A and B are shown apart, each in its own frame.
Chain A
Amino acid sequence: MSSLVAEMSSKALKLNIPLSVQLDLTYRCNERCIHCYLDHDDHGEMTTAEIKGLLDQMAEAGVFYLTISGGEILMRRDFFELLEYARARTFSVKLKTNGVLIREKEAARIRSLGVEYVQVSIYSHRPEVHDAITKMPGSLEQSIRGMRLLRQHGIHVIMANVLMRQNALDYSGVKALAAELGAQFMLDPTVTPMMDGDRSILNLNVDEAALREVFQNEALVGNVEEFCAPPLGPDEEALSALPCSAGHTACYVSPYGDVYPCVQFPMPCGNVRRTKFVDIWRHSPQLNEVRSITLGDMPSCSKCVHGGSCTRCPGLAYLEGDMRGPSYQDCEKSFARTGVPSENLKARKASGSRAHIQLIQIQGLQPASRPLMSEVSENASLSA
């Protein structure tokens, strides 16, 4: 993170401002990806007017970064009306799409509306692999066509590659495809549970050997020695540190108006159809509980040697039954990265259980009723 972005985040944290929001416009989708964490039926999406009202409220609350995602965003007929409305309220907008429905007209319109970047999900450079994951014949070809059009209009495109057993060998090919298209490549090695708590899709996650190979790939992680260095254990500063931005400077809003700390942290905190966005942000007991947790409050992680360097996701921990507990998937990643087992993995090994994980039934998914100026540039890469 650049120093100016870090400074802004720190200031937002101090002022209790939701700097970043992901807003899913719909869960409907034209693809049926095998690893998707969503249910694709429409349970009563917010109307155009409701979303515009929410955008007004979010601008007033200080939201700067707005990620518009889904489902497939272009399944909403009012997508461009909403995007134009958001840009007129000067959000920095990022779009997530599968790119299938992007033609010349859509690419030109996205360009004219000045979005920061468009992220397109690509699972393989081989149609037989990608299309088998999306369950949509021809989808790779159509997504690539969409990305080419976006690039021709000079739009920053990120090619996001979720790693799973089905495409474990293909990330180098996807990276080469991204380079050919002039897109940025981003690899995500984690398949997450479904929003309703169903964990069956976790068996799509790659095994430890494949994870280790990714973490040892210099082209992906940079300095391998540094990236895979043995952990030093949390120091005093780490123990008082906040786990991540979820609920602190960021949150997620579903197509039904439900507010969660993050898209991967499905703990209902309120609904914008019943309560003003800013009131949920400031006064939700759930968000305030999330905000109160530091590493020092986590019984297992605070004693773990990975405590200061782990990518622990509080949302995944919540889905495992305890948001103050470890996230088994992140324990596995820390082990694959360094070869050093976490406290949680050691305890599981000692008790002989691999993963006695509690199923959490998620509620709230039903329809709700200085000098003047300084500067920096931003970048992103591996999401580990």
Chain B
Amino acid sequence: MSDKRYIARSTAIAARVLGDEMMIMSATDSTLFTLDELGTVVWEAADGVTPLEEIVANEVCTRYDVSEEVALKDVESFVEALVRRGLLFLSNEPIRQTNPQGDSA
């Protein structure tokens, strides 16, 4: 098992960019969420194969004037909140998804 962490979007969701925000609806309970610009950046980078630390370094720190340490901490708590709601998967292994319900192999 690697010490890297990977995040992948659940496919049991509906999602669409609306202006500078991302709308996300959980398909399990129809709860609606919106992500702001930074949240949208992380969401779109959550491909299951790019390590979280790389997402922070390449996608977040290049856009915002923030240290990697501070950005990583913010992104970790954001990811934790989305994982708790079933919107993101977090794993120590790359995540490969196979169908729209979000089953991962």
- Interface residues in chain A, defined as those with a beta carbon under 8 Å from any beta carbon in chain B: 2, 4-5, 8, 11-12, 15, 17, 19, 59, 62-64, 84, 87-88, 90-93, 112-117, 156, 370-378
**Contact, CB under 8 Å: B34 / A377:** no
Q: In the complex where A372-B38, A372-B39 touch, is A116 in contact with B33 (Cβ < 8 A)?
A: no
**Contact, CB under 8 Å: A92 / B36:** no
**Contact, CB under 8 Å: B31 / A376:** yes
CB nearest neighbor in B for A92: B14
Distance, CA A15 to CA B82, complexed state (A): 27
Q: In the complex where A373-B33, A374-B33, A376-B31 touch, is A11 in contact with B18 (Cβ < 8 A)?
A: yes
Q: List 9 A-B contacts (CB under 8 A).
A: A8-B23, A62-B18, A64-B23, A88-B11, A113-B100, A113-B101, A370-B34, A372-B36, A377-B32
Q: How far is the CB of B66 from chain A (nearest CB, A)?
A: 14
Q: How far is the CB of A116 from chain B (nearest CB, A)?
A: 5
- Mask, B4-20, CB within 8 Å of A = 1, is 00000001111111110
Q: In the complex where A62-B17, A116-B14 touch, is A92 in contact with B25 (Cβ < 8 A)?
A: yes
Q: How far is the CB of B69 from chain A (nearest CB, A)?
A: 18
A-B CB proximity, top 4 nearest: A114-B27, A92-B14, A372-B39, A87-B100
**Contact, CB under 8 Å: B100 / A88:** yes
B28 within 8 A of A: yes
Distance, CA A64 to CA B18, complexed state (A): 9
**Contact, CB under 8 Å: A117 / B30:** yes
Main secondary structure of the interface of B (DSSP, over half): mixed
**Contact, CB under 8 Å: A59 / B16:** yes
Q: Which of A8, A90, A376 has the most CB of B within 10 A?
A: A90
Q: In the complex where A372-B36, A372-B38, A373-B82 touch, is A12 in contact with B18 (Cβ < 8 A)?
A: yes
| Chain B residues with CB under 8 A of A115 | 27
| Chain B residues with CB under 8 A of A376 | 31-32
B30's partner among A59, A62, A112, A378 (CB-CB below 8 A) is A378
Q: In the complex where A5-B32, A374-B34, A375-B33 touch, is A116 in contact with B18 (Cβ < 8 A)?
A: no
B35 within 8 A of A: yes
8 Å CB interface, B22-51 against A: 23, 25, 27-36, 38-39
**Contact, CB under 8 Å: B100 / A84:** yes
**Contact, CB under 8 Å: B28 / A114:** yes
Q: In the complex where A59-B16, A62-B16, A372-B81 touch, is A116 in contact with B39 (Cβ < 8 A)?
A: no
Q: In the complex where A112-B99, A114-B12, A114-B100 touch, is A370 in contact with B36 (Cβ < 8 A)?
A: yes
Distance, CA A376 to CA B33, complexed state (A): 7
| Chain A residues with CB under 8 A of B99 | 112
**Contact, CB under 8 Å: B29 / A90:** no
B15's partner among A2, A90, A93, A116 (CB-CB below 8 A) is A90
**Contact, CB under 8 Å: A377 / B38:** no
Distance, CA A50 to CA B95, complexed state (A): 32
**Contact, CB under 8 Å: B34 / A373:** yes
**Contact, CB under 8 Å: B81 / A8:** no
Q: A15-B19, A64-B14 are in contact. List 7 more A-B contacts (CB 8 A).
A: A11-B19, A19-B18, A62-B18, A90-B15, A90-B16, A377-B32, A378-B32
Distance, CA A376 to CA B30, complexed state (A): 9
CB nearest neighbor in B for A84: B100
| Chain A residues with CB under 8 A of B18 | 8, 11-12, 15, 17, 19, 62, 64
Distance, CA A90 to CA B87, complexed state (A): 13
| Chain A residues with CB under 8 A of B13 | 90, 114
Q: How far is the CB of A245 from chain B (nearest CB, A)?
A: 15
B101's partner among A93, A112, A370 (CB-CB below 8 A) is A112
